[in-house]
Structure 1
Amino acid sequence: MIDLYYWTTPNGHKITIFLEEANVPYTLHPVNIGQGDQFKPEFLKISPNNRIPAIVDQAPTGGGAPISLFESGAILQYLAEKTGQFLPPDLRGRTEVLQWLNWQMGGLGPMLGQNHHFSGYAPEKIPYAINRYVKETARLYGVLNQRLADRDYVAGDYSIADMAMYPWIVPHAMQGQDLNDFPHLQRWFETIAARPAVRQAYDQAKTINPAPKAFSDEEKKLLFNLEK
């Protein structure tokens, strides 16, 4: 029913987690971003920003032609609405989930992505940039930790907001963070990590990219638009 164009990144994991949690049939189409698959014309028709993930719903609600989507937050919302799962139907519950989903899309993901880049991928180690994004990561972890001080999940019940955030916390050590410093976040993280659907999503990743390794210099040039 769902064709998922995917690679084993935090944004890719968001969608496999949802599909496994909701028990939605899907077919994985690997898009190897280190090899430049994201620039192929057939993929750009689905994802014009040349980023994964993207989906094609072959059987949209109401029928008609297949629907394609890019941007992980939009995909999560679409799938939640399609299946009636992990997004509350009431105004207040829905608003709570969507504001935290957008917090992840606009803040947590981009800032942690910059942390990954300057700490691990940049050809030149720039102390100011590394320090800037490690500190911003800690600030965002603190926001999430405080939010989770009096609730099990980010927006009440387990939702697409949690699915969006969890994969970005998985590489916390790479981000210069110790979850012991954020006890409420750590409890939430361990709870989600133990969910069978989440484990299945990460097991699925191993079938696509069984031995993840550091990007080569050529792959970095491709990924980050560096001068050749």
Structure 2
Amino acid sequence: MNVYDTLVAGGVLMIPILGCSLLATMIIIERLWSLRASRIAPPSLAEEVCELIQQGQVNLFWLESHSPLGGVLAAGLRNARLGQDAVRARLQESATAVIHDMERFLSPLGTIASITPLIGLLGTVVGMIQVFAVIVGAEGAQRTSELAGGISQALVTTAAGLAVAIPALMFHRYFQRRVEAITVRMEEQAGRMVEFLAHHSGDLTLAERHEPRGERA
């Protein structure tokens, strides 16, 4: 039995399972590309910002367009003159938005991991109902093809549901862990910048217009 025959044997419930498989694949590929630590929270960005503060100026336009972490740090720098509490509050607000963006599509992926085994189980139940309906028929013993069809649907849908759910669940847990790791990195870098500002806030000059990094207004 080839792949096509196997899918056909699964019956109409293979359609939502295949749909979930396609959606899960798209989400996994998109999140693998988007949830790169180097893109969201470059490891040396806080140090670069501290150096620019020492030089006397930070270009907020460059910082905000640099990375999501850059946007968080820029939000904190805008409140630098209001004290550390204001800076920390603004950093927290901005970081919350970034974390929310990192968690995008993880809920649908988790849902797919949860519902596809249930769809497979439903296919199993439907297949067994068909089998028993044939058995109780007057010519049940001779209708082997229909019996085989019901059993095939029961087995194929269960296997397909699990085949989609297992990798979806694995990637869902993996992405959750990656979001946590990136969040910790962001918190560490933001903390370093706040600590640096506590001793060098008087050196800070902010530029808003688009200009090369480190260039003074």
TM-score in terms of structure 2 length: 0.29
Computing the radius of gyration from Cα coordinates, the structure with the larger value is 2
**Greater share of helix residues, 1 or 2?**
2
* Greater RCO (CA < 8 Å, at least 6 residues apart): 2
**Greater share of strand residues, 1 or 2?**
1
